[in-house]
């Protein structure tokens, strides 16, 4: 299989990867394991289990890993890059429509209908993660403590991650049964037939550990991070908006254990409350747009960057689109750069650490904390959607009923995300245009 042949598939995947990480991984499994037979079931799950341990979007990292395994460094860069790039351009376009025409009644109505669905989607995500991760009362305790810390005590998200990792490391020694990883993602499927990368295919030379190659990847990664950051600082100073975005989204990328929903409260805290790049209602709207576009959900950072660049008028009032697009590119670049480095550096080391409780127990603790953090995110959003004028203001009963209906459809009837969001948007537009909402 040549890189040129693979390129066509990775580009297609970038445009059809709806449904969040679970949907995206299912699409890759169907295409690569079942249909095209590029990689065997066992090798696919082995790569997936490694990517689930990493901070960052696991579906993007899985595509990067398989591309790297098949076609070396450039294969990984092409696979991961094409998985992400379509959603960057789509979100920049949607962000422009939102900022330029967001107050038009039709657009406002669409967003009015989508917001309750977003609250339900986040709650459903908490249920999915929790049902898989909270297998022991100790993990429930960590999750509850994380919720109290971030929602009531306003403890910064990085501190919660570090505390959960420390508890996991300690728990792995004192109570190993509670912190042992759960069952693998699925089981070995029965005969799909021989694959290009099969169970007994030897590890290719480029995927074996080499100190020289490791040093080269680390040096290249550091250069690709530091050079643009220094360029931004030279142009706008270390306190400039674009420089601050580069620094902040680098930190966010290193803390996204548990997927995009886990890091969104951190992005919310910083982008809304600290840097004031956007408002809380705009953050909810951005998540709604992220849910309805292909690519990883963490791509909502492109919306955050666009709105921040537009609001700060970085290049003057006549160049708002250019400012927003530049900020969206900066946010996306610094968010996804570490994911590529994790795969290229860590891929050859997978066999040495996978399944070792010393390494997995801290991550189990972090995953438990993530459940509480995601619930807090849902409550953050619910406050602004169902009580738009504040906790003491009137309740938006239409939104509350719509959110409850969406939650039932998602959890009880397994309704698809895209049909749900589309139906809610249409209903919101109809209500707004009829003057009922």
Give the other-Cβ count within 10 Å of 234's Cβ: 11
Q: Which two tokens stand for residue 154?
A: 């306003």
Q: What are phi and psi of 153, to 5 degrees?
A: -100, -10
3-state secondary structure of 197: strand
Q: What are phi and psi of 276, to 5 degrees?
A: 60, 45
Q: Which two tokens stand for residue 178?
A: 């509670």
* Radius of gyration of the chain from its Cα atoms, rounded to whole angstroms: 22
Q: Are 74 and 3 in contact (CB under 8 A)?
A: yes
Residues 6+ apart with CB under 8 A from 214: 345, 348
3-state secondary structure of 39: strand
pLDDT at 188: 41
The segments of the chain whose pLDDT lies below 50 read 184-190, 351
Closest CA to 57 of 251, 260, 267: 260
Q: Are 259 and 21 in contact (CB under 8 A)?
A: yes
Cα–Cα distance for residue pair 34/44, rounded to 1 Å: 11
Closest CA to 88 of 333, 387, 341: 333
pLDDT at 187: 41
Residues 6+ apart with CB under 8 A from 419: none
Give the Cα-Cα-Cα angle 287, 293, 294 (nearest 5 degrees). 125
pLDDT at 330: 97
Bridge partners, 39 (sequence order): 197
pLDDT at 400: 94
Q: Max Cα separation, the chain?
A: 66
Bridge partners, 35 (sequence order): none
354-374 burial, b at 16+ Cβ within 10 Å, e below that, comes to eeebeebbbbbbbbbbbbbbb
pLDDT at 23: 65
Q: For 314, what's the count of Cα atoms within 13 Å in the CB-facing half-sphere? A: 26
Q: What are phi and psi of 312, to 5 degrees?
A: -85, -5
pLDDT at 19: 57
pLDDT at 189: 43
- pTM for the whole structure: 0.75
Give the other-Cβ count within 10 Å of 29's Cβ: 20
Closest CA to 62 of 425, 339, 354, 328: 339
Bridge partners, 345 (sequence order): none
pLDDT at 18: 64
pLDDT at 241: 96
Closest CA to 121 of 428, 432, 418, 429: 418
Cα–Cα distance for residue pair 90/302, rounded to 1 Å: 10
Terminal C-alpha separation, the chain? 55
pLDDT at 356: 66
Q: Are 73 and 396 in contact (CB under 8 A)?
A: no
Torsion of CA 368, 370, 371, 375, to 10 degrees: 150
pLDDT at 20: 64
pLDDT of 327-341, one tens digit each?
999 999 999 999 999
């Amino acid at each position: 299989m040549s890189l040129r042949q693979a390129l066509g598939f990775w580009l297609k995947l970038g445009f059809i990867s709806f449904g969040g990480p679970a949907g995206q991984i299912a699409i890759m499994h169907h295409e690569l394991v079942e249909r095209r037979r590029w990689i065997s079931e066992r090798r696919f799950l082995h790569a997936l289990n490694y990517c689930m341990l990493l901070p960052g979007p696991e579906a993007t990292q899985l595509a990067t890993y398989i591309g790297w395994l098949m076609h070396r460094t450039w294969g990984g860069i092409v696979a991961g890059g094409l998985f992400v790039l379509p959603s960057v351009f789509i979100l920049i376009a949607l962000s422009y429509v939102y900022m330029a025409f967001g107050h038009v009644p039709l657009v406002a109505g669409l967003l009015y209908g989508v917001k309750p669905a977003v609250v339900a989607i986040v709650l459903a995500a908490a249920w999915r993660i929790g049902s898989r991760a909270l297998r022991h009362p100790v993990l429930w305790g960590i999750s509850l403590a994380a919720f109290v810390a971030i929602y009531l005590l306003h403890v910064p998200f990085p501190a919660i991650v570090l505390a959960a990792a420390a508890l996991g490391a300690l728990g792995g020694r004192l109570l190993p049964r509670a912190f042992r990883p759960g069952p693998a993602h699925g089981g070995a499927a029965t005969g799909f037939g021989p694959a290009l990368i099969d169970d007994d295919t030897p590890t290719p030379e480029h995927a074996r550990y080499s100190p020289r190659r490791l040093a080269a990847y680390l040096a290249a990664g550091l250069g690709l991070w530091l050079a643009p950051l220094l360029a931004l600082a030279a142009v706008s100073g270390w306190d400039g908006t674009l420089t601050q975005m580069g620094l902040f989204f680098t930190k966010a990328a290193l803390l996204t254990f548990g997927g995009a929903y886990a890091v969104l409260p951190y992005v919310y805290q910083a982008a809304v409350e600290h840097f004031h790049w956007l408002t809380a209602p705009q953050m909810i709207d951005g998540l709604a747009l992220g849910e309805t576009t292909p690519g990883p959900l963490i791509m909502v950072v492109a919306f955050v960057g666009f709105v921040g660049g537009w609001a700060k008028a970085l290049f003057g009032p006549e160049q708002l689109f250019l400012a927003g697009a530049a900020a969206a590119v900066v946010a996306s670049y610094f968010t996804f750069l570490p994911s590529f480095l994790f795969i290229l550096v860590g891929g050859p080391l997978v066999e040495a650490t996978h399944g070792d409780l010393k390494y997995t127990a801290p991550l189990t603790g972090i995953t438990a904390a993530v459940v509480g953090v995601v619930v807090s995110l849902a409550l953050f959003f619910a406050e602004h959607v169902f009580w738009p004028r504040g906790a003491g203001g009137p309740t938006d009963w239409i939104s509350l009923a719509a959110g409850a209906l969406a939650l039932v459809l998602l959890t009880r009837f397994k309704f698809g995300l895209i049909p749900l969001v589309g139906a809610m948007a249409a209903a919101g537009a109809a209500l707004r245009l009829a003057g009922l909402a």
